[in-house]
Chains A and B, each alone.
Chain A
Amino acid sequence: MTATAPGSTAAHTPEQADTRQIIRPYGDTTGDGMVQLSFTLPVPAGKRAEAAALQLAEKMGLDPASVVHSKAMGPDFTFFIVYGRVNHLIDYAGIPAPPEREYPLLTAQEVNLAIRSALGRRLVVVGACIGTDAHTVGIDAILNVKGFAGEKGLEYYREIHVVNMGAQVSVEELVARAKAENADAVLVSQVVTQRNAHLHNTKQMAAAFHAEYPTAVGPGMGRPLLVVGGPRFDTVTADELGVDRIFGKGTTPSEVASYLVHVLLPRKAAQ
């Protein structure tokens, strides 16, 4: 075993002791640093494969490491389970508190309850893929009952009325439908990014809504909330596009639903 006693690491110098909080993974003894991991290497099973697995573990900072299980998966792959002592140290005090989502994440029931008690009617959401974009993956992941990442889409929420206009909807059609449905929110998804089509389309859409509702004070106050989603909006801000919010890759329906509740309902009901 190594000479350094667990817990009494070099980090504990007198002047830093009160500000640093050094931690290592915990197996069954404080500071033992033990972790388990499993992975596959694209090589046939055998001694050489195990040596490769150990080398990988070492490079990952595991020392000592031991292969407790290795199994051939067909002729070309081997699966490993490896245990080892990781030599990395974490100063927990130096981990910044993660930025809070500016709104609480609600369950479907909480969203429904909030809408019911604050609005007394269903929240109306109109969604579409605009321009030539035929990729409804994003909008359908958020709106279809089928949903995304194990979460049901907004259609599943009893108190949300969803109008999913589908793909290749023109901005004029979208504005007209949003007006006709008295939409609380408009959700637009843009996947195709050739020649920055997603940015142009979104700006055009936002401008059309702002022109249609010239006296609006803000989202939910004289005009619908404008939300855009897609994988390639990380270079721009919502303000630049003229929308109220951008959602990126991996956004789930409940994040969107919680956001709608947060922004569109009077604050007390959303708590």
Chain B
Amino acid sequence: MTPQPKLDLDPEVVRTARRLAARAAEPIIEMARTHTTVSVERALLRLAGLAGADADGRPWVNHLADAVRDQVGLEHGVALPVWDALLTGPYPSLTELAQDAARGRVRFRLPAGDDAEAARAAARAAARAGIDRIDRRRAERDRMLREVGDPPHPWIYLIVATGDIYEDIPQAQAAAREGADVVAVIRSTGQSLLDFVPEGATREGYAGTYATQENFRLMRAALDDVSRELGRYVRLTNYASGLCMPEIATLAGLERLDMMLNDCMYGIIFRDINPRRTFIDQRFSRQIHARAGIVINTGEDNYLTTADAVDAAHTVIVSQLLNERFGHEAGLTDAQLGLGHAFEIDPSLPGSFRLELAHAQLVRELFPNAPLKYMPPTKHMTGNIFAGYLLDAFFNLAGMMTGQSIILIGMMTEGIHTPWLSDRDLALENVRYVRNACGDLAEDFVPRPDGFIAQRARRVLAESVELLERIADDGLLNAIADGTFGVTRRPPDGGKGLDGVVERADGYFNPAIEILDDEDPHAAATDEAAHAQEEVPA
């Protein structure tokens, strides 16, 4: 359902903004299409089913990709050397090959002629099997949504973060029973800077729980149980960000996660991850998300925690337009673009709530079909939990009035500790009250034409167009280097992970990318839906 326009935005200005965003994104997309990274290559190996790690926890995919890289380089991709070694050696599977490679016992080569053809065919079959598994997971989700039930917007989004997956599970189930539609398991601090994905079920983390394939599987299974119990599908969220973005996206697809944090610039700005690495990794991860039917969540809310939420309002819009462009190019539909924004204006500022309404309504109208993710106050939350509870209620109210789609539940103990069971319960009581009291207030809320809210929204849009013009002219990488977003300067050759970026050579081969570039990511799901409808008796 398309929301009703209320701000009288000039459609020509909106078109100009999108055109400029596309122009700014184009060189970045071209770079992503002509480069690969260690994590993109490892993601292929994970898609092909290689899992597990050595006794020290170093994953076999890292061992294998590193061995190929050391011997023949990555510019042709890992697929040809790896499947050539698998076909010509005594290895029953990738695991044994990786184990031998870790011991330095495998001689990799770049095969030619018939050998190359054989390796190509084997690699294609392996990638296809992984993509098929992702397709099956997506069909499974669609089936559960039909059978169990899909909650209406706004979805209530709650965070769990104990560090121990076995504590997270009962907390997540309790949260679902109390009304959470989406459960996000926050990652351990610093995981984004690890150049490998930890293995197995984990019970220790710093202010969060490690994202691992096994943790994904355990939590999804627990939420499936509670979904059936509640008669409403509870979505699971994690983070496809950091140095292993493509691999984590792949694991999310394989284990039927439903939403993934995946911002085009977050890692660059806030984690000092190399800009080129980020954009290349991101395109692959978004292609996987598109295929898996995963809704991405972008991280524009973060800009407002460093920059002023009023002065920098337009940088949020600019980033959303860029995220939309990169997302569309990677095959994501509007319904998969959980663009982020936040309620972060200083509450002591006169008219702060009116400004919040203007910003939230502007985002709603610019992206009418996107499941917008609205983030609660964090920057101006203090140890005064009582005042914080009030601020969270105003946030919930703004969310209802402007028809936001995914509402992250604010905690009155924000910034004090990771949420207690009671913090979550009180937070849900808060949002339930507001939703019950005025869930449909968006129907009645029409800002006065040319009033404060409408004018503020138009001004932010105009500032966004100005900034996009500058970015399109100077180049996005230069804009990031100049500190345009979130104040921080990030040069294209700085930051972590640049050494994992490789320009693709002629003859680069990656069967996962072949499938993701060539096929409509939503074709299989559409067939399934059509098929399901046929099964419904008339």
Chain A residues proximal to chain B, CB less than 8 Å = 38-40, 71, 73-74, 77, 79, 134-137, 140-141, 144-146, 149-150, 152, 155-156, 164, 166-167
Contacts and interface: CB of A to CB of B under 8 A. Distances in A.
B272 A155 contact: yes
B488 interface: yes
Contacts of B425: 71, 73, 79
B133 interface: no
Contact of A77 (B306, B381, B421, B487): B421
Interface of B: 174, 177-178, 189-190, 193-194, 206, 269-272, 305-306, 378-379, 381, 415, 420-422, 425-426, 486-488, 496
A164 B379 contact: no
Nearest to A153: B270
A190 to B, nearest CB: 14
Nearest to A72: B425
Nearest to B495: A164
Nearest to A74: B174
A145 B190 contact: no
Contacts of A137: 189-190, 206
Nearest to A156: B306
Contacts of B306: 145, 152, 156
Nearest to B414: A150
A123 B190 CA distance: 25
Given A79-B425, A146-B271, A135 B190 contact: yes
A152 B415 CA distance: 12
Contacts of A74: 174, 177-178
B190 A136 contact: yes
17 contacts: A40-B422, A74-B178, A79-B425, A79-B426, A135-B190, A137-B206, A140-B189, A140-B190, A141-B189, A144-B272, A149-B415, A150-B378, A152-B306, A155-B272, A156-B306, A156-B488, A166-B496
A145 B269 contact: yes
Nearest to A152: B306
A63 to B, nearest CB: 24
B170 to A, nearest CB: 8
B487 A79 contact: no
Given A73-B425, A152-B306, A156-B487, 8 more contacts: A39-B422, A73-B422, A74-B174, A79-B422, A79-B426, A140-B190, A144-B271, A145-B487
Nearest to B270: A146
A45 to B, nearest CB: 12
A77 B270 CA distance: 38
A174 B24 CA distance: 38
A79 to B, nearest CB: 5
B262 to A, nearest CB: 17
A48 to B, nearest CB: 19
Nearest to B382: A150
Contact of A150 (B177, B272, B379, B426): B379
Contacts of B379: 150
B190 A164 contact: no
A144 B378 contact: no
Q: Which residue of B270, B271, B426 has the most chain A CB atoms within 10 A of its CB atom?
A: B270
A38 B385 CA distance: 12
A111 B270 CA distance: 21
| Residue in B306, B379, B415 with the greatest tally of chain A CB atoms within 10 Å | B306
A97 to B, nearest CB: 22
Contacts of A144: 270-272
